[in-house]
Chains A and B, each alone.
Chain A
Amino acid sequence: DARVTQTPRHKVTEMGQEVTMRCQPILGHNTVFWYRQTMMQGLELLAYFRNRAPLDDSGMPKDRFSAEMPDATLATLKIQPSEPRDSAVYFCASGLVSGAITDTQYFGPGTRLTVL
């Protein structure tokens, strides 16, 4: 049963520290999404990639956040420096998009980040 995996599942850090979250998309999927979920803002799209190329990162604070896909099996989301307002659950999702068809997004279990 193919799944999206995310590490770490939980992260507690202090303000100012760098945080790196990792995601392994489902093998064969060509699209990867990063979302942030908070009680106040709900599910927000931060960035997404197709065939490893960034398509849209307009939802991401550029000064401190960065997202990359060094290869097809790994996506990373970094926050440097982290701030208490970054505390949230970060989800990675992957999907298979062919042409103009939007496919299902398969979500990982999320990384619960707490910045003190």
Chain B
Amino acid sequence: GQQVMQIPQYQHVQEGEDFTTYCNSSTTLSNIQWYKQRPGGHPVFLIQLVKSGEVKKQKRLTFQFGEAKKNSSLHITATQTTDVGTYFCAGDWRTGTASKLTFGTGTRLQVTL
């Protein structure tokens, strides 16, 4: 089946440092979504990227979709302790009307003071 690889699996940063997680698919995606899951919580939608080369920003978070629509990244500038959690990308390959998401393995972010 379709797979989405995500790296790194874990990253520990000092507050104020930047953080990036990468997501890769072997085949072209129709769109990609990003979710954040706080420890003990549930995944919460952050953003959806649809267009080739698309870049979207949410305050300190920057999301990119690759030109070939096979990879994506999430970059956090000047991390804060509130950024702690696991970040998942979720790919959609759109097979007819049976569209569904396949979640990446996630990147767990730890931020310390």
Residues of A that sit less than 8 Å from B by CB:
33, 35, 42-43, 45, 48, 50, 55-56, 91, 93, 97, 99-100, 102, 104-110
Contacts and interface: CB of A to CB of B under 8 A. Distances in A.
B102 interface: yes
A29 to B, nearest CB: 13
Nearest to B6: A42
Contacts of B88: 43
Q: Which of B42, B48, B102, B104 has the most CB of A within 10 A?
A: B42
Contact of A110 (B42, B98, B105): B42
B99 A107 contact: no
B42 A109 contact: yes
A104 B99 contact: no
24 contacts: A35-B103, A42-B103, A43-B88, A43-B103, A43-B106, A45-B100, A45-B101, A45-B103, A48-B100, A55-B100, A56-B100, A93-B43, A99-B97, A100-B94, A100-B99, A102-B48, A102-B92, A102-B94, A102-B99, A102-B101, A104-B45, A104-B48, A109-B42, A110-B42
A107 B36 CA distance: 11
A61 B39 CA distance: 28
Q: Dominant SS at the A interface?
A: strand
A107 B98 contact: no
Contacts of A35: 103
Interface of B: 30-31, 33, 41-45, 48, 88, 90, 92, 94, 97-106
Contacts, number: 52
Contacts of B94: 100, 102
A69 to B, nearest CB: 16
Given A43-B103, A56-B100, A102-B31, A108 B42 contact: yes
A15 B58 CA distance: 46
A97 B33 CA distance: 14
